[in-house]
Amino acid sequence: MSLKVVDNSGSSHAPAHKRNPGYPLDLDWVERVRMNRSALERRAGSIGARRTVKKDYQLAWLLKAITLIDLTTLNADDTPGRVERLCAKARNPLRAEIVDKLGVKNLRILPGAVCVYHTFVKTAVDALEGTGIPVAAVSTAFPHGLAPVETKIADIEASVKDGAQEIDIVIERGMVLRGDWQALYDQVRAFRKACGDAHIKTILGTGELATQTNIAKASLVCMLAGADFIKTSTGKEKVNANLVTSLTMIRMIRWFNEETGIEIGYKPAGGIATAGDALKYMALMKEELGTHYLNPHLFRFGASGLLTDIERQLEHGLTGHYAADYRQPMV
């Protein structure tokens, strides 16, 4: 069986892309932002009903989805051994027989990144040497974001020094709830400076921001401050990624691009566990921002269990049978 799939050689590992330089805080623009939740819900509700892909096309989309995953372990009981096993899975995300049957051995199907706590950055960097897969580190007092700013900046600098190429920072949700946009801008700007050449993903903690308008304004302020990606959640909140919030954030990305010419990446995280979920988010990105956004330098899933289900779905597409989870172990 042979599938026509876009070659992701270089994965995040990405094509040349103009980085967000950051812009002055425009409070007039921030105050103009308004979101209609009812309209967002209607639009988001139409995605799964109207957009489906079947058979070989679905298999191709699922292979693409693998290249968009930030393969993640962020547990209190993480160990170097667990991180090394996760990196081994990142090196070979699909079993050899699936790759052979799909006829995609010549393609470089690799996840977008491996995401870990700072403690394990060096472990992951060593385990992924030679693959081109970047290591992302969660930082700035993840997941709550409540620590002195000096501590958070030191956290970023330490992860970058250990080899992290991407830093997922956490904003202070209280700044959004108070409408203290200057404080949020200044802090994200300082984090961006500390990242240096490492790309910065700003985690909004959207489930704790109360309204879609707050989420939209926080997205804009982070982009003005220089964020390379905006991200929904830490995965530790009661409410994580969903299509309504995603629509809010990607429409702010589109508006920002219309005003500045800069393309900002988007990362939904938390609760995305099935291949069906992944396809809905990919359809949303394609329709709202264009097919070129389905590349790892512009779109990622923050997920730990998603790859397991994608592998099961690919095997089902080939054999007509679902394999047990243990046949696709993560760690």
Spans of all domains in the chain:
27-327
Phi, psi of 164 (to 5 degrees): -65, 130
Residues 6+ apart with CB under 8 A from 108: 7, 8, 9, 10, 11, 13
Question: Tokens 């094509």 correspond to what residue?
Answer: 15
Question: Tokens 């779109």 correspond to what residue?
Answer: 299
Instruction: Please check the confidence at residue 4 and state whether its pLDDT lies above 60.
Output: no
Rg (CA), the chain: 19
Instruction: Please check the confidence at residue 116 and state whether its pLDDT lies above 80.
Output: yes
Residues 6+ apart with CB under 8 A from 112: 11, 12, 67, 68, 69, 70, 133, 134, 296, 300
Q: In terms of C-beta distances under 8 Å and separation of at least 24 residues, what long-range contacts does 92-97 make, across chains too?
A: 93/66, 93/307, 93/311, 94/66, 94/311, 94/314, 95/311, 95/327, 95/328
Amino acid sitting at position 280:
K
pTM over 0.75, yes/no: yes
Q: How many CB atoms within 10 Å of residue 93?
A: 21
Residue 68 pLDDT grade (very low, low, confident, very high; cuts 50, 70, 90): very high
Note if 267 is an active site residue.
Answer: yes
Note if 325 is an active site residue.
Answer: no
Question: Which residue among 64, 89, 231, 280 is the active-site one?
Answer: 231
Q: How many CB atoms within 10 Å of residue 81?
A: 10
- pLDDT given for residue 331 in this prediction: 61
Nearest CA among 160, 166, 158, 244 for reference residue 209:
244
Q: Cα separations (Å) of 257 from 244, 250, 264, 322?
A: 20, 10, 8, 42
Question: Which residue among 89, 122, 267, 280 is the active-site one?
Answer: 267
Residue 233 pLDDT grade (very low, low, confident, very high; cuts 50, 70, 90): very high
Two structure tokens written together for 152: 């958070």
Residue 316 pLDDT grade (very low, low, confident, very high; cuts 50, 70, 90): confident
Question: Which residue among 64, 122, 152, 168 is the active-site one?
Answer: 168
Under 8 Å between Cβ of 302 and 268: yes
Across 273-287, average pLDDT: 94
Residues 6+ apart with CB under 8 A from 284: 44, 47, 243, 246, 247, 250
- pLDDT given for residue 8 in this prediction: 39
- pLDDT given for residue 155 in this prediction: 97
Instruction: Please check the confidence at residue 14 and state whether its pLDDT lies above 70.
Output: no
User: Measured between alpha carbons, how far is 216 from 249 in angstroms, rounded to an integer?
Assistant: 6
What's the fold here for domain 27-327?
TIM Barrel (3.20.20)
Residues 6+ apart with CB under 8 A from 61: 53, 279, 282
